[in-house]
Chain A
Amino acid sequence: MGMSESARFARVEALLDAALEQPEGEREAFLHLQESDAAIRTEVLELLRAVTASEGFLEASAVPAGEHEGRRVGAWKLVRRIGRGGMGEVWLGERDDGRFEQQVAVKLLRHGVEDAPRFLREARLLARLQHPDIARLIDAGSLPDGAPYMVMELVEGVPVSRHCRERGLELPARLALFAQICETVAFAHRHLIVHRDLKPDNILVRADGQPMLLDFGIARPIDAAHGDTRDLHLTPQYAAPEQLSGGEQSTLTDVYALGVLLHELLTDRSPWGELAGAGVLALLQRAQAGPPPSPSSQAASKTAARKLRGDLDAIVHKALRPEPAARYESAEALAQDVRRHLEHAPVAARGGAFGYRARRFLRRYWLAASVLLFVFVGLVGALAAISMARQEALRERDIAQVEARRSKAVRDYLAHMFRDAGQHARDGEPLTAKQVLDQAAARVQASFADDPATDAQVLKALGELHFYLGDYSAAEPLLRHWLAFDAVIADPVAGADVRFTLAETVHRMGNPDEARALLEQAQAFWNTDPERHADVLLTSRALQARLQREAGDTAAALETLEAALPQRVQHSGREHFETAVLATNIGAAYVQAGRIDEGIAASQEAMALWRALKLGSGNDALNTLNNLAAAQFRKGDLAAAQSAFAEALALRRQLFGPSAATAALIGNYARTLQGLKRYGDALEYAGEAEAMAQRHAGSASPLTQAARITRAELLLVLQRHEDVGEPLAAFMAEDTSALPASLQLRAALARTENHRHRGEADAARQALAQADALFATLGAEAEPFRANLEALRAP
């Protein structure tokens, strides 16, 4: 033992190094030649065995590849690992239920377990992102240990940069491909999904030349909800400066990554040169790098450089500006400029006075293209209009005028928003505006507690917008949230307003008592100065009348509305939005009172007002059309009713997508088809109405309950007796006492028939007695049910 420990180890280490250079079978013999000390030889041999045995030991994500093999994930079985990265592993998966052959990519994510619910919410958003150039999200969930997974369409292709190099694509072909990629990214942006990790590895090109984008929205900072804005999964080569510094990320972050990609496709080189992988060191290099060189300065030849100098240098430069606001306003605008270059038109990226004009010109495009930006601009605009109106009012002391302007601001905003959404209906995305609102609502609610005074207006506006969109379940918590801070906000005018909107909301959710209480509170405040609040007081008569009618007092309801009409015309004039609303409600009230012909006339009058106001395809006109159709239905003119309902429904679906009001319309359409004896079709629509109403208005709401009864009636007439019990039981499971009497009558009749068919004589007799009592209280409104009731009364 002449050697020190460390000198001895140095010898062992050196022998180990040398042995590892030898082919495996010759290592032992090699050691015998090199080393005479048997103890050292033994130690080296032990370590050589340990080298093999310790593969993967202490490694990041050192899950042996075998561990997941054959594992079941949802309906899929993991076949083999096809990738591994910072975000987790990617596996090739196959359908496990043997129903059909499908191969998918299963991503097992490393996101924290506590983030799984949030992740699943986002996955649902991603599932809606359907575009031929975007790999589809097929399924998502979490494993028993809580780790989230995603199942994606399996894409076979090569990264776009490699595709361009290997196929030797010419510049115009590369630019066209790039523009197509930009437009796909713009599509995702319109659905409010930012990619955050765009890079060639996530943009594959298939053998047929079609680009496919992967991993949308996955690379988001996982801890944003906990105030941790670091993005754990950025790729240094493509990261925008705001990602490197942990700043706010947006669609413009993707524009930056597209700029890096364009540079790469133009030059086959990264603007940053070769960075050291994807880790800390690469980040440090990026953080210290100056502005990127222009593409032309990195071109392979003088000829190539000439093609890049000018337009393309300018386009890349503009996409890669460190300040997000100085970049292209959207991926769409970037694509536009690339296409303009291809068409030899002047590009926006070239500066100067012309550039300024061109930018203004381009604004048209990006405004139309980016609902995201537009809606936020619109919301800010609407709020600005509201607060301006409020300031003016302080000078003029005319609250009524403020209220009118306020509602006009919100209405203008809505009109703009839906007109814009309509323009993009080609993508079938009527929910986009809704998604914008959801996101905005979440953000405002989160920051509300910190600064209620500042956020109160936004919260109120969002609550109202959700209400106008017919999403009462979303509006309710926002408005209640506002009221919880009523004392802090200390704005009684706004407080009355919020109570009114909440009254409307809870009324539509099937809670008339609370609606009445809230309405009375609001009206009590307005009545402290009825002249100042004349406008909103008149508006509130509609809800008042509806509550009266639903409490069974149709005469009082009609009286309330008829008293309001002359006041309204005097206050606002004839061709006015609120006048039209009132006329619509009067039409409905006549129909409810059984005065059908007057109802049809009033509804037609209201429709004429809507058309005069150029709101013939707006939300309120749709309701009027619905009422008109309902009146025609009640009159027995089913052919007219059916075409009116069909027209209204098509328009509403196109403009609004699923909502409580859409569910109401579908329910009415189902009843018309029922009247036309198209029972099978009617049943389908009734089922759709029930599901939609349940989702958007709640299970106890009159809408949902009415759809259930329609379904029960249809099942009875279709002789599907075994299925009738389900909708009737669902109906009876809720508190039915507050429902309109006519609906209760229909339910009692259906139950009578069902019990009778099942031979339950006592129950049938009880239900029939209920029907009799309801029939007696209903009066004229009950007439359509007389024949049915008399048939059941017969033994």
Chain B
Amino acid sequence: MTSHDATPAAARPALDDPGLRVLVDLFYGDLRRIARRERFRAGAGATLCTTALVNEAWLKLQRTPAWQDQRHFLATAALAIRQVLVSDAQARFSFKRGQGESPMSLGEEGMQVPDAADEQIVQVNDALERLAALSPRLAQVVECRFFAGYSESETAQAMGLTDRTVRRDWVKARAWLFRELGEGAADGHV
């Protein structure tokens, strides 16, 4: 009963994809800035207004042969955004808990104040690793929807699925994370 449409395996970007590094570098500064300004104030989780970012990256990169494939680009961009947000949140979060030195430079912005949202990002990221072991596809849907802020149809495009499948997967993945993180995770800052 697991029959679904096209296999998503081809769209799943590899962690050693050189293009991933390019996108992480490209997104890093802007994403942190936007995140600082816009994120979580309305308790919106990590879902940022990434449309403009991704669009701009696409405009910059679309003439590069490596990025001719929209689907590959979207999937890689989602992973890149997740990496940037998580490493940033981990840096603040671990610092807050006094677990030694921050693993990365805090840059010219100076000390960042960790907040409940950092904790949620780190927790969702950890839980997502566990979900990926059970169902890589559900985990990637969360990556696109939660971290990259893609719409249903964008996620469907990135993963080669139908909109309907994405919608159902999102409901299931969200329920799984909700149960995994405990009811408390959903309260307060979400």
Contact = CB atoms under 8 A, between A and B. Distances in A.
Nearest to A54: B178
Interface stretch (B20-28, B84-92, B96-104, B148-156): B148-156
A423 interface: no
Given A5-B133, A47-B172, A113-B41, A58 B52 contact: no
Interface string B68-100: 001000100000000000000000000000000
Contacts of B133: 5-6
Contacts of A60: 44-45, 47, 149
A50 B52 contact: no
Nearest to A89: B42
A57 B178 contact: yes
B37 A112 contact: yes
Contacts of B62: 287
A304 B176 CA distance: 54
A52 to B, nearest CB: 8
A50 B182 CA distance: 10
Contact of A13 (B51, B135, B150, B186): B135
A50 B175 contact: yes
Interface centre among A14, A58, A276, A279, by most B CB within 10 Å? Answer: A58
Contacts of A110: 38, 42, 49
Contact of B151 (A16, A244, A277): A277
Nearest to B1: A14
Contact of B134 (A6, A145, A246, A287): A6
A517 interface: no
Contact of B51 (A6, A61, A245, A279): A279
A57 B1 contact: no
Interface string A1-41: 00001100110011111101000000000000000000000
Given A13-B172, A50-B175, A58-B45, A230 B151 contact: no
A58 B124 contact: yes
Contacts of B54: 280
Contacts of A231: 52
A147 interface: yes
B59 A287 contact: yes
A394 interface: no
A224 interface: no
Nearest to A21: B168
A388 to B, nearest CB: 41
Nearest to B4: A17
Contact of A86 (B49, B168, B186): B49
B34 to A, nearest CB: 9
Contacts of B51: 86, 232, 279-280, 283
B2 interface: yes
B57 to A, nearest CB: 10
B190 interface: yes
Interface of B is mostly: helix
A208 interface: no
A5 B146 CA distance: 25
B122 interface: no
Contact of B154 (A18, A62, A281): A281
B154 A147 contact: no
A127 interface: no
B179 A46 contact: yes
Contacts of A449: none
Nearest to B36: A112
Interface residues of B, number: 49
A62 B44 contact: yes
A276 B171 CA distance: 21
Contacts of A246: 56, 59
B183 interface: yes
A134 B49 CA distance: 28
Nearest to B173: A58
A111 to B, nearest CB: 9
A168 B6 CA distance: 42
B176 A50 contact: yes
Interface string A86-129: 10000000000000000000000010111000000000000000
B174 A57 contact: yes
A281 B157 contact: yes
Given A58-B145, A281-B154, A50 B1 contact: no
Interface string A630-653: 000000000000000000000000
Given A232-B52, A277-B151, A20 B59 contact: no
B177 interface: yes
Contacts of A20: 168, 171
B52 A279 contact: no
Interface string A262-277: 0000000000000011
A53 B182 CA distance: 11
Nearest to B44: A61
Given A246-B56, A276-B157, A58 B177 contact: yes
A281 B175 contact: no
A54 B186 contact: yes
B172 to A, nearest CB: 6
Contact of B177 (A57, A59, A232, A244): A57
A563 interface: no
A108 B149 CA distance: 20
A51 interface: yes
Nearest to A231: B52
B55 to A, nearest CB: 5
Contacts of B45: 58-60, 62
Contact of A18 (B1, B74, B134): B1
B132 to A, nearest CB: 10
B142 interface: yes
Contacts of B168: 17, 20
Contacts of B150: 279-281
A246 B50 CA distance: 15
A51 B135 contact: no
Interface string A140-171: 00000101000000000000000000000000
A63 interface: yes
Given A6-B134, A17-B1, A279-B51, A63 B178 contact: no
A179 to B, nearest CB: 33
A551 interface: no
A281 B148 CA distance: 13
B175 A51 contact: yes
A51 B172 CA distance: 7
A555 interface: no
A279 B154 CA distance: 7
Contacts of A17: 1, 168, 172
A62 B190 contact: yes
A53 B176 CA distance: 11
Given A50-B175, A86-B51, A112-B38, 5 more contacts: A51-B171, A244-B59, A246-B56, A276-B154, A277-B152
8 contacts: A6-B133, A48-B175, A54-B177, A54-B178, A145-B41, A230-B52, A244-B59, A284-B55
Minimum-distance CB pairs A-B, first 3: A14-B1, A54-B178, A50-B175
